[in-house]
Structure 1
Amino acid sequence: MKEKNQNFFFELELEEDQSIKLAFWADARSIAAFEYFGDVISFDTTYNTNRYNLVYGSFVGVNHHGQSTLLGCSLMKNEEIESFKWLFQCWLRCMGGNAPKGFLTDQCASMKRHIMKNIPSKLNGYKGHAKIEQEMSQVVWNSHSKDSFDRNWNDFLLNFGLVDNKWLSSIEAQFQDVYTHQKFREVQAQFRGKANCITRLTNSALGYSVYEVGEQVSSSIFNKFVVTYDSVAAEIKCQCLLFESRGILCRHALSVLSFEQVSQVSLRYILERWSKKVKRRHTHIKNSHDEPLLEQRSKSFDELVFRSQNICEFASESEELTVILHRAYDTVMIEMEELKAKRKGTSSLSHEDANLESVNELQSPPRIRTRGRPKNRLGSKKY
């Protein structure tokens, strides 16, 4: 793959017997995709190779359609802290030293100790509903037909001076103009869920407000969430952490913005990674798997045979030329053997100095005895 694509990145750490201890690789498309979708990364090590008992790990991001995109792969002989440290350092080098903003991982204890996490603190404080939320709740839940809802809603807008409020259309239009269809549908689901929310201001000072948002999940059950809004910084945070985990404003935050009569959300909440206009440079990079791979060793052999045939035909014209060619062969053979011996003594390989000859010297890890049916089971076949 390195010969086919010079931007293919890989690094290896070998055991004394030249078998693989640790390996990391990423193709050019993955490296380019990280530029756009590398803000939050998931790393999973749930797969084990059956024959050699190597742990397979994958770095995965999410593109602007909400789909998974591969950002690197690894093989590890163990899941110790030093192995993860080596792997993450390789991955950072591959991605130009740019660490993601968020890193999601499985339940591996070693990895947890290696990755530092900052968990946002939760806010508290719950009280009764204000009059405006009570009136809105009456309109939403006690209107039994379209006509009655329209009448009650218009009365509600008149009573609270909200007739000219264009909040819903303007806020929703912000997301619709920018986001892909898939992501905008997810945003719309949050707007629909806002109808089940009742918002109440609990505290406010110097432009910083604390709200309690009650979300009705059944006729008698409300889930309560604390939402804070800083009107000066145009920053909103909800206890449910939907934006922090999925990159979409939640219905609780939208309810508070509606209560505050905010006509445009801050651009920090309209993520470019979900944009339908994102520059997709990574999709124009040829993947190593886009065409059938040729066996490089066979390809090199064919090229050498072709060139050698021409040289041999030329040298066979005289004894003097034949002697010159034999002498050249001896010199080249000594040089190649020295290089081969030097490569064999190297305990690690990286994408900068690796070539196919050194890779071909790698030894397979020791095979393990796998569980399953006995090999001499009646009716089994040998291959």
Structure 2
Amino acid sequence: MIVNRIENIDEDLLGRVVSTEEEAYNLYNNYATRVGFSVRRGQKRYNTKKVSKLETRTGCEASIRFAFQDEDDTWKVSHFVPEHNHELAKPEERQFLRSNRKVSDSNLGVIKTMVGAGIRTTNTYSYLAEEVGGSQNVGFTKRDCYNVVNKEKMAMIEAGDAQSLMNLFKRKQAEDPMFFYTVQVDQENRMTNFFWRDGRSRIDYDCFGDVVVFDTTYRTNRYNMICAPFVGVNHHWKNVLFGCACLLDEKTDSFIWLFETFLESMGGQKPKTIFTDQCQAMANGIQNIFPGVCHRLCSWHISQNAARNLGSHYGKCLQGYCETELEFQSIWDDLLTKFNLTGNPWLMTLYNLRAKWCPVFSRHIFTARIKSSQRSESTNNVFHQMSTKTMSLTQFVHHYDKQAEKMRSSELEESFRCNQGLPSRIAKSSGILNHAATVYTRKIFKLFEKEFVDSLAVMMHEVGSDGTIHSFELNEEGHNRVYLVQLNSFNRTISCSCKMFESMGLLCSHALRVLNVKCWSQIPEQYILKRWTKDAKKELEANEHGELLQVNGKSSVTLRRNALMRTTYDVLSKAAETEATTRIAMEKLREMEELIEKEMITSKGEVNKKTSDNVVDCNASGCTFDETPVLNPPCVRPKGISNARLKSAMEKRRKRTSKDTVSSRKTKQSSKIGRPYSSAHTPLSSNFLNPVSVPMSTNISNHVYPTMRLLPTEGHANLPQPNLSFTSMLQSTNFMALLNKMQESFTLGNRYLF
């Protein structure tokens, strides 16, 4: 069968002349597109006897041949066969012709930019199609778009994912001398854990590292490694990144390694408070590496599972309604007595951890008024949204950098707004408010202004004075709680029993009430916490290279080293080109070393040896892998994944119905022969007071619950801590059922108003 050329295409290419080989290909390819078939390049023949093979799929003889003209360096059509023996593509199908599909350089740039920004490939293709009026006008298919994206990904990790990540870290360290990274490998040289942070994160930690939020919620890469960012709060009340790690497991050894590495990268400077979720391995690591640091648990994780089952009493203990430890103890005892929970194992464990979740035990420690690890979880969730389970480690680090850049851009914009003028104020004639608007950032000023407004509803009377120290008792209208404020007019100090300044860094409404009555027009200087002010980073400014340097003479060793390495990096790179220049550089470096040592001895500058904020050298940073390449991490199997065949909905429904039938029969038989109920059906009774009689699910973290006997005189504070994860125990189906029954029975009975 011979298929003639399509109607209205009467074009004889024989004898046509073009200038280049590429023009020759385009000439025939454009013709093929109009007709409705694809083309491929044949072999070039330069006066040889080889013959090109025929197309074997259909035996179609349609072809074109060009001959090179030596006299004018052109290409001339010497052979042209227009007839085909197969059906040609319809006009609406020609967009799918292989030789007519190509991802242009301009489209490739758009694809790389959008995918790099975290936009899915399918959405990128939809955008390109929308721009040109439909997918038929894009010039390539969605599959071509996926292929070019995968090609770029494979080029990124050509040396292997782990080794490509190492190479990326080395490039970053060359560009940013303050960049820090550490990689941990196993005996087979496979990557297991790694941590990194850039120079800007170190600067941010110096300014805002008093509170750190650490979370390990998400696994966001193809190896199912745990994403563990270190997050803080800056002077605009926004999240700031201090660094990030990827861990293969959540064991104590991994956390000890990570916290040691983090502390080393930050020059040994410990935070005042660190927030985490409830994890015993994590707690062990913090206890070993951060002794003396206030470790707070995420209140959200605890309250999610307990507040709805234990009523308002638990909320009072957890949400900070108690102001003293005695008050907490009273509320807690009332909780145990009223709900008949004395000896409950979960509550005993929770009580032993009370200092980590109840704010009353840490009011004197700065926590920036953070109550949970959700700040870190929100940041981690951003990484989760931007990444996929098939993402490589190198890609994930790129996504992290983009998110960090976005957060820093937001901070820069907020700083710009703060410097453009003062925020609106409720009382523009108030000296204290005007002073606060001048020094604080916009967000912090709004928090301060709220306390100022609340102070108007505070009743005050002076209870004592010796001429210098004045004592006041204050209470908010409609509340009976009394706060004690002491003002020293000589040294201009003020303190309140609510401890808001100690925990938050802002004066409370009670202190502001006293200052207003005493006609103070400004906030005492010692009560303006620098981390909340517009000048939190004033000591840092950018030099001509964009580096962050301190303007005073007390710049850190790391920052001075940064400036020196920036200056000498290019010179040393040139010196390494030849042996002669290398010798010259080595001689001059030795001379410089001798001069520096003499200067240090002369000026007694031994302080330079105290490199507490050193950037760890290449060996300590995990970059001694030039000889042996680092292998990819082992893939961690997610929980719940099975090799079994996926069952259809019909099979699952049939199996569930069968189980219900068998369970019903067993229940009837056991009731007939007088057997006791199973643990899942134990009725609520006085046995609930005995923790041994509380049935637990068999899949609670594989813990063994030890037998405990309670004496009538024992208090809950002296009970041994059970070997059981209280989070897992609370989530037990049996235990939750008992709590729900207990609450229902209490609600339907006598009501108790606290």
Give the TM-score category using the shorter length.
0.5 to 0.7
CA-CA distance at 1:84 after TM superposition: 3.2
CA-CA distance at 1:246 after TM superposition: 3.0
Question: CA separation in 2, counterparts of 1:76 and 1:375?
Answer: 28
CA contact (8 A) 2:191 2:630 kept: no
Question: CA separation in 2, counterparts of 1:376 and 1:282?
Answer: 59
Report the equivalent of 2:553. none
SS of residue in 2 equivalent to 1:45: coil
Question: CA separation in 1, counterparts of 2:211 and 2:268?
Answer: 15
What's the CA shift string for 1:333-353, capped at 9, x where partnerless?
xxxxxxxxxxxxxxxx85646
CA-CA distance at 1:376 after TM superposition: 5.5
CA contact (8 A) 2:217 2:227 kept: yes
CA contact (8 A) 1:12 1:350 kept: no
Picking from 430, 445, 468, the partner of 1:169 is 430
Cα 1:251–1:21 shift into 2, 3 Å: same
The structure with more strand, counted as a fraction of residues: 1
Question: CA separation in 2, counterparts of 1:44 and 1:281?
Answer: 31
Report the equivalent of 1:145. none
Cα 1:109–1:375 shift into 2, 3 Å: closer
Paired letter, 2:460: T
CA contact (8 A) 2:248 2:636 kept: no
What's the CA shift string for 1:207-246, capped at 9, x where partnerless?
4444332123xxx444433334444443333333333333
Map residues 199-278 of structure 1 onto 2, 5 A cutoff.
199-204=460-465, 207-216=468-477, 220-277=478-535, 278=537
Report the equivalent of 2:449. 188
Cα 1:59–1:353 shift into 2, 3 Å: closer
Question: CA separation in 2, counterparts of 1:245 and 1:282?
Answer: 32
Q: Is 2:352 the partner of 1:83?
A: no
What's the CA shift string for 1:307-343, capped at 9, x where partnerless?
xxxxxxxxxxxxxxxxxxxxxxxxxxxxxxxxxxxxx
Report the TM-score, using the length of structure 2 for normalisation.
Answer: 0.32
Picking from 184, 188, 195, the partner of 1:17 is 188
CA-CA distance at 1:69 after TM superposition: 0.6
CA-CA distance at 1:86 after TM superposition: 2.6
Question: Structure 2: any 5+ residue segments left out of the alignment?
Answer: 1-168, 296-322, 328-426, 549-617, 649-754
**How many positions carry a matched residue from both structures?**
274
Picking from 35, 39, 45, the partner of 2:210 is 39
Question: CA separation in 1, counterparts of 2:202 and 2:464?
Answer: 47
Paired letter, 2:462: L
What's the CA shift string for 1:43-97, capped at 9, x where partnerless?
2233345754543322112222111110111233444444333322222221222
Picking from 615, 627, 632, the partner of 1:363 is 632
SS of residue in 1 equivalent to 2:195: strand
Report the TM-score, using the length of structure 1 for normalisation.
Answer: 0.59
SS of residue in 2 equivalent to 1:86: helix
CA contact (8 A) 1:194 1:254 kept: yes
CA contact (8 A) 1:33 1:282 kept: no
Q: Is 2:234 the partner of 1:68?
A: no
Cα 1:103–1:209 shift into 2, 3 Å: farther
Identical amino acids, percent of aligned pairs: 32
What's the CA shift string for 1:344-370, capped at 9, x where partnerless?
xxxxx8564616747951331343144
Cα 1:194–1:373 shift into 2, 3 Å: farther
Paired letter, 2:450: A
Paired letter, 1:11: T
Question: CA separation in 2, counterparts of 1:46 and 1:224?
Answer: 41
Picking from 447, 456, 459, the partner of 1:198 is 459
Report the equivalent of 2:171. 3
Question: CA separation in 2, counterparts of 1:73 and 1:223?
Answer: 43
Paired letter, 1:269: Y
Paired letter, 2:456: A
SS of residue in 2 equivalent to 1:24: strand
Question: CA separation in 2, counterparts of 1:200 and 1:110?
Answer: 50
Higher relative contact order structure (alpha carbons within 8 Å, sequence separation ≥ 6)? 1
The structure with more helix, counted as a fraction of residues: 2
Question: CA separation in 2, counterparts of 1:58 and 1:266?
Answer: 36
CA contact (8 A) 1:60 1:68 kept: yes
